[in-house]
Structure 1
Amino acid sequence: MAEVFGSRSLNDKKEGGLDKDGELKEAKRELEAWKAKFEKADDTKARLILEKLGEDDAKSEAQQEMNVCVKNQQKTQDEFNQSMKTVQDEIQKLTRYNQDLLGKLKRCQAELEAKKTESCKLQQKFKIYAQIPDTEVKFISQHKEPREEGDEDSQPIRGVFTISQRAAVLLQGGQALITFEEEKVARQILKIAKCSVSCENSSLDVKPRRITMDPAVKFEVHLDVSRKELKVSNVPDVMPEERMKDRLEISFSRPSRGGGEVEKVEYDKNTGTGRVTFLQPGVAERLVMRGRYNVELDAEVNVQVGPIYEYQLRRFQTFCGCPKRTILLDDIQDMVDEEDLQDHLEIHFQKPSNSGGEIESIKYIAKPKVLQAFFCESTEEKDDSL
């Protein structure tokens, strides 16, 4: 600093400059300015040092927190990896279990389909596909159960009907059925794999086969017809239910129309049907024979009347098997007329030299005909015959 002032004084002297007091004052001012700047710089330096120390502490704390976070992150990552491994193991177990279940499901579905197929076959085998025609009923005998006096007329009319299905086999074109009089003849023919039948100037090979018939059934229908109750149908919905009951009771209570004293009336508005119970038996029987009855509603309406009955199926029996005296001839070629070919077959299988015997019945059909053959039970030998 002295060097600066000295040089300035010399310069001032050279320049012919200023007095010493002015120079000194100017130097003092500059000195004070530099001191202020120094102090300010020193304060700034101290403040920066303090800030640096604070930042170092903050950095150290941040470093520690970062280390803790890194450790926590590593721990969390390890836990996540362990959890992921556990989940993956569980997923693999569930996948294997699911595959096992799918395999088991496929096996069960296959078994179910097999059971359904078997069930359908059994249903087709044992289900009755027969339309029972209207048949006149002949009463063979009347069975009276012991009853109390005065109670006979109130008991229902009871009937027992036996229904039997005749065993049958479907005879295709180019086949024949032969029933022999003796079982042993049929057994002998069935032992032959192929029979050569003479037919005019040539021979014809036929194959004897055993017959397996579809199941047949036999059952009883026990029927009870009420003597006092009557079913009413086709009743129009023209008034409230309670009022309709009253009108039905009034209409069926009139003896002039064939009615009688009514015990109770039931009516279903949704179906248009009702049930009338008379106090005395015989009225319902008389009206059932008519089939129709006039009922007074808003206008006179002709309604349908019928019996009230209950039925039960009892003694249901199924039969299956094969006839002992009847055989099937298959693979027959139509070489001649149908009747002539049937005669040739009958002649061949009647001869003992051909292992045949007396024929009870024979039936042959040519292609492409189809015939349903029915069997009945033989009364003497208890065997099926054609």
Structure 2
Amino acid sequence: MSAYLKRMKRRKEKRKPKAVGHRGLGQTCLSSMMSSDEEFSLLPDNDQKSHPSPLEVVRAEIEKYKVTHERLVADKKDLLKARDEQLQLAEEYRNHSVKLRTMLEEEEQERVQSMKDGKAKLAAMQEEEGRLKGQLLSMEEELRHLDEQTLHLRQEAEAFPKVPEKKVVFTGAVSEGAEAVGFHIKSHIVYPMEGGTTLITFEEDAVAQNIVRLRQHMVKLGECYIRLEAEPVQLLIPSHVEVATHVCPKRILISDVPQDVDKSRLVDKLEIHFSKSRHHGGEVEDAEMLHDDGNVVLTFVEDTVAKGLTDRQSHKVDLGSRQKHYVKVTPFLSGEITDLQTRASVPTRTVLLTGIPDIMDPVDLQDQLEIHFQKHSNGGGEVDAIVYNPPGGRTLAVFKDDCAGEEL
């Protein structure tokens, strides 16, 4: 538009008449008219015909200005039209830029939302991956546990047929119902006694219950009396036991050993025999005899020796006698308590006496207490066992099974 305006300005300057020429022509005409008043004639003059009159000149100038005005009006219309077109174009550009900005904002929002959705999906996939990995590890751990159980059961299945035979005999005793199922264990309960107490076991249950019922007892010791309290003994004994067994890889159980050989010598001979490589043995870490059945347990340093010996089972051993003796080698089953439930038990023949001061020799005091509770006049009876623990002393009382009841 600026180039167009400059071009129109130059065109106007070219069309503009010079003012000096016009003024000179007017002045000439006026001077001519003033100088020729005496010579005025109605007849036309040839010189005057060659020059236009001022009015004609003015009219001509007016016509020129009209033409210029019309052209300027046309140019103004063109400029207004061009301005309107530019304004319309600018409005279109503005609307288009608004639309583009709106589209860009919408695309940015969609991109941000898409990124959020992608991050959420990625987090969900990572969480799912973690859960699946956890399940995989759990399944692998369970599979490993099952493999261990399978190996353990296989070893036990192989070990059970090889266990040493135990000789049994029917003695005429019978059992019925639930008592026919299960096994019995011998009680061996260690009870720590406090200082200044006495455990006394009577031959009859009724005597012990009478002593507990009377509770307070006055005992004469020489020239003085002491006051004692009698109360029942509270023991915890197993009511339910579950034991898990497994084959020990370093130990063997040797059975069918001769009973007429010295025990320590027998253990030494077996240790020497099975420590030699030519007997498929190895270095022995420990040797022990089980006194309840007379069998011997050997523990090797390496865990590869026991399996080879138990596969063979029968072994010929030189025990120093004229003839060699055959012994049986089987796997050693170790036990682990997996579930132990206990219950409270009160011995019916044993009474705990408390509050005993240290006023005389412990042996004499124990004798005096036994004499006192043997007398029927004191509510007592025949004493089966008695133990006195003086104040500050440390004594462990052992309770065992007895055919008549508890035994101290």
TM category (shorter chain) comes to 0.3 to 0.5
